[in-house]
Copies of this chain bind each other. A is one copy, B any other.
Amino acid sequence: MTRQHTDPLSRSALDALSSDLRLACMRIARRVRYESTSDVAPHQMSVLSRLEDAPRTLRELAAIENVSAPSMSRTTTGLVERGFVERTNDPSDGRQVILSLSADGKRALRDARRRRDLWMHVRINHLDADEQQTLARAAEILAKVAAE
């Protein structure tokens, strides 16, 4: 790919881009959430994905998710009852509880992601090759922006 000189965006173009891009991302997020409904609620899904990285104690989960300990207690109780999360006692500290993802939990997580990705896949499939290439480059930049 030949690299060409690109002029920086004007102040007003930057304003418009911020607004347009922000709106598009929020609309897409809303539609993905709305149209790929799951029997696992969003806050439950979020906990499952946190447990995917590593088992956690309740306090850790509450802190990561910016939620109170009682709320997280309720959320994880529900997930344990549904078999998506396993609760084991910490052998080294009797106060703590280790929460981890069960096989069913991993499956639920994978299925939910598949449904969400499908929504986007269908729409990207309808774009032409140029547009797809632009989005491929944009996806990297947006990932950087989101992680910042």
One of A23-31, A53-61, A75-83, A95-103 contacting the partner: A23-31
Choose among B22, B30, B129, B131 the residue that contacts A120 (Cβ–Cβ < 8 A): B22
Within 8 A of B (CB), among A133-148: 133-143, 145-148
Copy count, this protein chain: 2
Main secondary structure on A side of the interface with B: helix
Choose among B9, B29, B30, B129 the residue that contacts A8 (Cβ–Cβ < 8 A): B129
User: Please, how many angstroms separate the alpha-carbon atoms of A18 and B32 in the complex?
Assistant: 12
Q: Is A71 an interface residue (CB 8 A)?
A: no
A21 touches B139 (CB 8 A): yes
- Closest CB of chain B to A92's CB: distance in Å? 34
- Closest CB of chain B to A54's CB: distance in Å? 19
A117 touches B7 (CB 8 A): no
How does the 8 Å CB contact mask read for A1-25 relative to B, with 1 for contact and 0 for none?
0111011110001110111111111
Within 8 A of B (CB), among A70-113: 113
A113 (CB) vs chain B CBs: closest residue: B19
Q: Is A63 an interface residue (CB 8 A)?
A: no
A134 touches B134 (CB 8 A): yes
A132 touches B17 (CB 8 A): yes
